């Protein structure tokens, strides 16, 4: 159990370090997630557009956090 928790800690740490290493793409992806999450609530965008923005933002964060931009 302790080894599994330690592995989770290191995965989160490496993911966060990758986001910090690429601040512009991480900020763009996080902005897409935020707009997609609250955009339809406040009437900024339609439900469909909000869903697409949220999906693209989450995939973008995963891509940046995985370290694929450093390769």
- Write down the pTM of the prediction: 0.83
Domain boundaries along the sequence of the chain: 2-70
Q: What's the pLDDT at 45? A: 86
Q: Which of 36, 57, 55, 56 is nearest to 46 (CA)?
A: 36
Q: What's the pLDDT at 56? A: 97
Question: Sign of the CA dihedral 41, 44, 49, 53?
Answer: negative
pLDDT beneath 70: ranges in the chain: 71
| Cβ partners under 8 Å of residue 20, min gap 6 | 26
pLDDT tens-digit readout, 33-50: 999 999 878 877 888 999
Q: What's the pLDDT at 71? A: 66
């Amino acid at each position: 159990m302790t080894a599994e928790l330690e592995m989770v800690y290191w995965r989160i740490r490496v993911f966060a370090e990758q986001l910090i290493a690429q601040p512009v793409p991480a900020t763009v992806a996080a902005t897409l997630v935020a707009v997609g999450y609250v955009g339809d609530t406040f009437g900024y965008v339609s439900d469909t557009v909000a869903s697409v923005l949220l999906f693209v933002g989450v995939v973008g964060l995963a891509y940046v956090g995985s370290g694929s931009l450093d390769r």
